[in-house]
């Protein structure tokens, strides 16, 4: 295969009072990053200068660019998404920070959609603070999916320990049952199978599906959704050649180490999948939006106001998110090349 290209990766600054700017700077401080991608931070050079000084990183340099045609090949670039002064108070939750986090996210997503970026890595935001300016904002996963005008996506948490996808994401628990339909479960299984093949280059991925109810319904004793909704979706996909199994009771799955038998796990709702995942991988996992035509990743943690401004935040998850974006872009390129010219089946006449 040909040598992989260097990709342009947009990085959103997130909530500037959280640990986003700190983990971004700590990740990009190692200039070897420039061998793998061209990073461009969407936010404020003044904010980054403030955190540089606070973190005693005065030797770290960045380049200010007006647009993606002016990116530096030697240093990370910064796109100033606003010009006004912003008062940074690390550790404080404020509506003002939600406003600027949304501006940076909007600009980066616009450039991603326009093809100026190959991928974006989003720093953590505070949903409540953004909702003061955009009431319909439910999360970065949903926002990016809508802005890219995609029909379907799935929130994935990935680490060396497990890959977990969700049928439903940021919705109240009382709404989950109505949202878990045969069609939706089937579409998420197919999406996960495609993601594992295309984005992670697993030829024959094995997928485990959780039940909705305790003990996966216990043969109808604790609910019928597992037998009447989830099981038929699994069987339909299995008939089409997808190696999918379940529904499994979620409570003992991770504790028994069953995740090691599967390439992907599909949970019905947020905490059902992510409690087990974060117990295994917190601080090392990556939040990935699967199913999009573009690539978006994020660290597996939030704004962590309690750590902001103390030089105590670990960049490990953010660094993993950046390299996972690069890996997925490379895998997609390799997958496309492998399937560009499949061998055509030829028929030969017995006559000479």
Q: Give the model confidence (pLDDT) of 231-284 as tens digits.
A: 999 999 999 999 999 999 998 899 899 999 999 999 999 999 999 999 999 888
Regarding pTM above 0.85, the answer is: yes
In a domain, 349, yes or no: no
In a domain, 160, yes or no: yes
Q: What is the mean pLDDT of residues 74-78?
A: 95
Mean pLDDT, rounded, for 68-96: 95
Question: Is the domain of 165 the same as that of 49?
Answer: no
Q: Are residues 144 and 183 in the same domain?
A: no
Assess whether 1 and 140 both reside in one domain. yes
Work out the average pLDDT over 141-149: 94
Q: Considering the domain boundaries, does residue 350 fall inside one?
A: no
331 vs 90: CA distance, rounded Å: 38
Reduced to 3 states (helix: H, G, I; strand: E, B; else coil), residue 111 is helix
For the chain, the domain total comes to: 2
Assign residue 308 the CATH number of its domain.
Answer: 3.40.718.10
Residue 61 has pLDDT above 70, yes or no: yes
* Domain enclosing residue 329, as ranges: 1-150+292-339
> What would the two tokens of residue 126 be?
């505070």
Give per-residue pLDDT as tens, 297-352. 999 999 999 999 999 999 999 999 999 999 999 999 999 888 876 555 444 444 43
Kindly calculate the radius of gyration of the chain based on its CA atoms and give it in whole angstroms: 22
- 123/232 same-domain check: no
Which pLDDT does position 2 carry in this prediction?
45
Q: Are residues 94 and 208 in the same domain?
A: no
What pLDDT was estimated at residue 337? 87
Do residue 5 and residue 139 come from a single domain?
A: yes
Residue 65 lies in a domain: yes
Q: Do 106 and 168 lie in a common domain? A: no
Distance (Å, rounded) from C-alpha 252 to C-alpha 350?
Answer: 60
Q: Please indicate, yes or no, whether residues 108 and 250 belong to a single structural domain of this protein.
A: no
CA distances from 110 to 105, 149, 281 (A): 9, 11, 32
Kindly state whether residues 315 and 297 are assigned to the same domain.
yes
Tell me phi and psi for residue 36, to 5 degrees: -110, -25
Q: Is the peptide bond before 247 cis (omega within 30 degrees of 0)?
A: yes
């Amino acid at each position: 295969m040909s040598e992989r290209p260097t990709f342009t990766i947009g990085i959103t600054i997130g909530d500037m009072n959280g640990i986003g700017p700190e983990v971004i700077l700590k990740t990009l401080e190692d200039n070897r990053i420039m061998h793998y991608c061209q990073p461009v931070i969407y936010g404020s050079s003044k904010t980054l200068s403030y955190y540089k000084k606070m973190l005693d990183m005065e030797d770290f340099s960045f380049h200010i660019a007006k647009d993606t045609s002016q990116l530096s090949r030697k240093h990370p670039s910064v796109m100033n998404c606003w010009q006004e002064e912003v008062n940074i108070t690390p550790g404080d939750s404020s509506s003002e920070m939600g406003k600027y986090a949304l501006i940076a996210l909007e600009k980066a997503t616009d450039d991603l959609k326009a093809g100026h970026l190959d991928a974006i890595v989003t720093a953590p935001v505070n949903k409540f603070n953004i909702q003061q300016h955009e009431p319909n904002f439910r999360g970065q996963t949903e926002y990016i999916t809508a802005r890219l005008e995609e029909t379907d996506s799935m929130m994935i948490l990935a680490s060396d320990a497990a890959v977990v996808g969700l049928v439903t994401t940021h919705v109240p628990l009382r709404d989950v049952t109505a949202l878990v339909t045969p069609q939706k479960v089937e579409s998420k299984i197919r999406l996960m199978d495609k993601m594992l093949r295309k984005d992670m280059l697993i030829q024959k991925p094995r997928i485990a599906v959780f039940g909705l109810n305790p003990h996966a319904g216990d043969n109808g004793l604790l609910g019928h959704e597992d037998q009447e909704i989830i099981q038929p979706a699994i069987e339909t996909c299995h008939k089409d050649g997808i190696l999918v199994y379940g529904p499994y009771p979620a409570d003992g799955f991770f504790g028994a180490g069953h995740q090691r038998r599967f390439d992907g796990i599909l949970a019905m709702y947020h905490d059902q999948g992510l409690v087990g995942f974060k117990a295994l991988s917190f601080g090392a996992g990556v939040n990935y939006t699967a199913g999009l035509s573009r690539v978006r990743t994020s660290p597996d943690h939030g704004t962590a106001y309690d750590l902001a401004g103390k030089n105590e935040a670990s960049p490990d998850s953010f660094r993993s998110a950046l390299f996972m974006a690069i890996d997925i872009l490379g895998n997609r390129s390799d997958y496309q090349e492998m399937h560009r010219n499949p061998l055509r089946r030829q028929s030969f006449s017995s006559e000479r």
